[in-house]
Amino acid sequence: MKSTFLLLGALSALIGVGMGAFGAHGLKTIISPEMLTVYQTGVTYQMWHALGLIGIALIRQQAPDSKLLHWSGWLMFAGILLFSGSLYALALLNHTWLGMITPFGGVCFLAAWLLIAVSATPNIRSSDHYSRYK
């Protein structure tokens, strides 16, 4: 199975583990506890959404032509870059203006999950088609 989203999810998880280890071991004495919390939030969201990308890759095996799932994957990846990336940069560089980018990543995450939910609704409706209790 070749899948862009499986690849992006696996690489995002790999990088997330590395960033988490770097934060836990390399940044503890370098940045403030507040900024370390910001950094850890970036790691947490990256890891959850890396798993989300892997989930999208698996779901797309059942619906390979789904445009909703296609766009949800790209939005989730954009969310990782914008949300987690801006939090990493904010924590490491301490430039507060970088915090203005973070909500755009959050919106990408929300939109991605919404598209996954919407893509599931036709399956629910089509299963009702065969019900004698319509």
Per-residue pLDDT of 45-57, as tens digits, reads 999 999 999 999 9
Contact (Cβ atoms closer than 8 angstroms) between residue 83 and residue 42: yes
Per-chain mean pLDDT for the chain: 92
Per-residue pLDDT of 89-125, as tens digits, reads 999 999 999 999 999 999 999 999 999 999 998 666 5
Measured in whole angstroms, the distance separating CA 68 from the mean position of its chain's CA atoms is 16
> Global pTM?
0.88
Lowest mean pLDDT among 8-12, 80-84, 126-130: 126-130
